[in-house]
């Protein structure tokens, strides 16, 4: 059986030309792609050469690449010079770099799928493997492709793709105002005056750790803050390692519309409430929020932030939550304590590198539950003391409902103390209150 592999040599040349012409795009490409993106062997080889140049910390241009290729081949090649010059001239403009990468990634995915099914056909013809085993192998392969293909999506894309409003409509068939402090333009306001009065807002380059025991509302508080931030024209990137995009969207619309989350999930809204919720979906899909779900490593986080910073000038990052992140550099000898310490240090470096505020959620150990009064302390942060060390601010959430309290346990740039909050769990919404 002859299999025609999808590819586009023109797109490959345009992407490589962008990499040659712009050092920043070369670094992005090395972070985002590997040689499998390219079908042509010569293009794969050039990509690997550029990758080596980037890893050595050198600026990417024709002269530097040629020198690297000369050292690899042992001689100067006029063909290489002509090849690189042609690529550079073809990619005279670089504004479509992301589109080139997206299209080539799609072609690469198609090749992988075809290669797999071609292999399955041969195995089916040979009859040496059981059908169930081949089915299982195919499902795992396709699932792997799906996970790799999924990435950051806007609220509009998620709501449209997942058909959340339509799903709510099917279920139905079967049965602001806060006074805010004036804070600098690039500082994220939380929407809860009591928090903003204490912290002065969430500042770029700083890492804010929000710790709590499971079920205490830390995700809800993070969603409330990110929703309000986006309404104030602060683009937000939310990395969810626990909840699905659909679950997060439902929580957003529940707190935004102040309609019960359970009614939205079950489709038991009144007709009037349903009309209002549907209207709120149309409003929030316009907000500058992107959501990524699934596994998360520091390299992936860096790639996504770099892309969002370039395309949308991202201001605010939310990670839910720290202990679910994985460390690519870890091996069998690396303890979880060391892994979390490495992740924590890198979060602070990323906040400074990209000039963004990072709100990172963290689990607390059970020690607070054994303590009289059950008040959480800094020492309760799970898996690593480095979390406390690297964070600019540590916030510890405790209590439920009218007894909710946010303890500013560490504040490198200001005072500490407790902030009383109200939590309405039915609409997953926090508000401030007086003692």
**At 429, which helix (H) or strand (E)?**
strand 429-432
pLDDT for 316:
94
The pair of three-digit structure tokens given for residue 286, joined into one six-digit string: 């316009």
285-289 mean pLDDT? 91
Has residue 380 got a pLDDT over 70?
yes
Rounded distance between C-alpha atoms, residue 22 and residue 6, angstroms: 27
> What is the SS3 assignment for 191?
coil
Report the percent of the chain where pLDDT is more than 70: 82
Over the stretch 334-365, which tens digit does the pLDDT of each residue have?
677 788 888 888 898 899 888 899 999 988 87
Structural domain of 286: 153-432
Identify whether residues 269 and 404 lie together within a single domain: yes
Has residue 373 got a pLDDT over 90?
no
pLDDT band, very low/low/confident/very high, at 221 (cuts 50, 70, 90): very high
Identify whether residues 143 and 172 lie together within a single domain: no
Strands 393-398 and 405-411: antiparallel
Are 174 and 324 contacting, i.e. CB atoms less than 8 angstroms apart?
no
Over the stretch 151-169, which tens digit does the pLDDT of each residue have?
677 787 777 766 677 767 7
Rounded distance between C-alpha atoms, residue 432 and residue 435, angstroms: 10
Over the stretch 22-51, which tens digit does the pLDDT of each residue have?
888 888 888 888 888 899 888 998 999 899
Q: Strand 207-212's sheet: what is its strand order?
A: 153-154, 289-293, 236-240, 316-320, 357-363, 207-212, 393-398, 405-411, 417-424, 429-432
pLDDT for 287:
92
Identify whether residues 187 and 223 lie together within a single domain: yes
Over the stretch 385-398, which tens digit does the pLDDT of each residue have?
678 788 899 999 98
Single residue among 147, 174, 190 that ends a domain in this structure: 147
For residue 401, give the nearest of 220, 242, 264 by alpha carbon: 220
Q: Is 15 exposed, middle or buried (0-12, 13-18, 19+ CB in 10 A)?
A: buried
pLDDT for 136:
64
Identify whether residues 98 and 198 lie together within a single domain: no
Identify whether residues 173 and 231 lie together within a single domain: yes
pLDDT for 384:
60
pLDDT for 149:
55
On average, the pLDDT of the chain sits at 82
Identify whether residues 188 and 136 lie together within a single domain: no
Are 356 and 315 contacting, i.e. CB atoms less than 8 angstroms apart?
yes
**At 9, which helix (H) or strand (E)?**
helix 9-21
Strands 357-363 and 316-320: parallel
pLDDT for 208:
95
Identify whether residues 115 and 194 lie together within a single domain: no
Single residue among 100, 126, 147 that ends a domain in this structure: 147
The DSSP call for residue 421 is E
Over the stretch 106-149, which tens digit does the pLDDT of each residue have?
888 888 888 777 777 777 777 766 666 667 666 656 655 555 55
Long-range pairs for 324-328: beta carbons < 8 A, 24 or more residues apart: 324/241, 324/242, 324/296, 325/241, 325/296, 325/297, 325/298, 326/295, 326/296, 326/297, 327/297, 327/298, 328/297, 328/298, 328/299
The pair of three-digit structure tokens given for residue 111, joined into one six-digit string: 């090749």
**Any idea what the CATH number is for the domain that residue 371 is in?**
3.40.50.300
Higher pLDDT, 124 or 16: 16
Spell out the residues 6+ positions from residue 49 whose beta carbon is closer than 8 angstroms to its own. 65, 68, 69, 72
**Any idea what the CATH number is for the domain that residue 95 is in?**
1.10.860.10
pLDDT for 73:
66
pLDDT band, very low/low/confident/very high, at 251 (cuts 50, 70, 90): very high
Identify whether residues 72 and 165 lie together within a single domain: no
pLDDT for 170:
66
Spell out the residues 6+ positions from residue 137 whose beta carbon is closer than 8 angstroms to its own. 120
Report the percent of the chain where pLDDT is more than 90: 19
316-322 mean pLDDT? 90
Angle, CA 63 vertex, CA 57 and CA 66 arms, to 5°: 90
Identify whether residues 243 and 382 lie together within a single domain: yes
Identify whether residues 143 and 257 lie together within a single domain: no
Identify whether residues 271 and 334 lie together within a single domain: yes
Identify whether residues 173 and 258 lie together within a single domain: yes
Over the stretch 53-111, which tens digit does the pLDDT of each residue have?
888 888 888 888 888 887 776 555 677 888 888 888 877 667 788 888 888 988 888 88
Single residue among 115, 147, 179 that ends a domain in this structure: 147
pLDDT for 330:
52
pLDDT for 179:
43
Rounded distance between C-alpha atoms, residue 163 and residue 146, angstroms: 19
The pair of three-digit structure tokens given for residue 259, joined into one six-digit string: 């309609």
pLDDT for 367:
72
216-242 mean pLDDT? 92
pLDDT for 32:
81
220-224, 277-281, 420-424, 431-435, range with the lowest pLDDT:
431-435
As for how many domains the chain has, the answer is: 2
pLDDT for 181:
47
pLDDT for 148:
56
Instruction: Give the torsion sign (CA, 322, 366, 255, 150).
Output: positive
């Amino acid at each position: 059986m002859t299999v025609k592999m999808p590819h586009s040599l023109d797109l490959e040349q345009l992407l490589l030309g962008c990499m040659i012409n712009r050092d920043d795009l070369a670094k992005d490409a090395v972070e985002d792609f590997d040689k499998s993106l390219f079908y042509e062997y010569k293009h794969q080889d050039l990509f690997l050469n550029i990758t080596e140049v980037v890893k050595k910390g050198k600026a990417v241009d024709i002269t530097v690449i040629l020198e690297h290729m000369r050292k690899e081949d042992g001689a100067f090649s006029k063909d290489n010079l002509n090849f690189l010059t042609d690529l550079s001239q073809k990619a005279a403009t670089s504004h479509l770099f992301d589109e080139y990468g997206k299209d080539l990634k799609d072609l690469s995915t198609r090749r992988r799928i075809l290669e797999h099914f071609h292999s399955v056909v041969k195995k089916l013809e040979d009859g040496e493997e059981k059908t169930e085993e081949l089915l299982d192998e195919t499902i795992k392969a396709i699932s792997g492709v799906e996970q790799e293909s999924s990435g950051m999506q806007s609220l509009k894309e998620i709501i449209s793709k997942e058909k959340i409003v339509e799903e709510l409509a099917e279920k139905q068939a079967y049965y602001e105002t806060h006074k805010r402090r004036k804070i600098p333009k690039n500082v994220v306001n939380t929407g809860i005056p009591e928090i903003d009065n204490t912290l002065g807002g969430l500042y770029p380059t700083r890492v804010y750790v929000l710790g709590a025991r499971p079920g205490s509302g830390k995700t809800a508080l993070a969603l409330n803050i990110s929703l309000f931030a986006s309404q104030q024209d602060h683009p937000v990137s939310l990395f969810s390692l626990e909840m699905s995009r659909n679950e997060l969207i439902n929580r957003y619309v529940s707190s935004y519309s102040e309609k019960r989350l359970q009614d939205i999930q079950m489709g038991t809204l009144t007709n009037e409430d349903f009309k209002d919720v549907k209207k709120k979906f149309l409003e929030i899909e316009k907000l500058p929020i992107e959501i990524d779900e699934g596994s998360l490593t520091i390299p992936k986080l860096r790639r996504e932030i770099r892309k969002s910073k370039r395309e949308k000038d991202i201001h605010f990052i939310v990670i839910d939550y720290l202990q679910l992140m994985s460390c690519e550099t870890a091996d069998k000898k690396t303890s979880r304590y060391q892994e979390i310490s490495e992740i924590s240090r890198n979060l602070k470096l990323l906040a400074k590198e990209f000039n963004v505020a990072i709100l990172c959620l963290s689990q607390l150990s059970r020690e607070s539950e054994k303590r009289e009064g059950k008040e959480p302390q800094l020492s309760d942060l799970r898996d690593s003391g480095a979390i406390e060390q690297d964070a600019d601010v540590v916030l510890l959430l405790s209590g439920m409902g009218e007894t909710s309290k946010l303890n500013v346990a560490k504040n490198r740039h200001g005072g500490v103390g407790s902030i009383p909050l109200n939590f309405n769990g039915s609409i997953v919404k926090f508000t401030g209150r007086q003692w």
